[in-house]
Amino acid sequence: MRTTHWITVLVFLTLLLTGVEILLSHPRFYWGETGHSRTEPLFRIPVPSSRSTVPSGYSYVLPDQNGWSRYLHFEAAWALVITGLLYVLAGLWSHHFRRNLFPAPEDRTWRAFRMVIAKHLRFAPPDDHDLRSYNALQRITYLVVVFALFPLVIWTGLAMSPRLDAAMPFLVDILGGRQSARTLHFFASAALVLFLLVHLAMVALTGFVGRMREMIISSPAVVQERP
């Protein structure tokens, strides 16, 4: 779990950096199969482009880093896929998901979930139970990230490939087209970045040094497994 965690960290940061560089080459998003500089966008990111042919409202263009960014982005994406598969297989084999991530029966009530949300909104310091186990909100969030957001970002990324479109067009058609896949890929990636920021904030709130030590050299004490 530690190994796949830190590999995912490095790979995700690489994908984030290269993804931003790719975005700057065309910071406009469309819906459907096609979209280009002369097409009215669904929405646009208010940043300058790295290509003079893309209208952005700015009188200058940024240095074009699109070439190396695409190559590294695709390579890092495959590293993420392989690491994710290893993580899921290890989690299923060790029953990690059932013991540590699926909410306990007492946490599945609306009252328990509402109390957890209220505590987070008050920015209350973690108690001893919080330091030893994930609460219901954390468990659900991790499950959504692992089994929804990461698969979605991989699927939408592959759907932008002309080879996949030619070999399995139905995977692209379900998303509404290659440009729709690009738009969904952007929102899924933004959701993962938001999760990363909240995750780092929670680590800092519960003791950054101790949590980092647990994830590197000592036995993690964050999760208390259920029988």
Of 2-11, 33-42, 132-141, 216-225, minimum mean pLDDT range: 216-225
Q: What is the band of 8 on the pLDDT scale with cuts at 50, 70, 90?
A: very high
d(CA 139, CA 135): 6
Per-position b or e across 146-166, b if 16+ CB within 10 A of its CB = beebbebbbbbbbbeeeebbe
Per the DSSP assignment, residues forming a β-bridge with 43 are 29
Higher pLDDT, 4 or 152: 152
Burial of 189 (0-12, 13-18, 19+ CB in 10 A): buried
d(CA 60, CA 209): 44
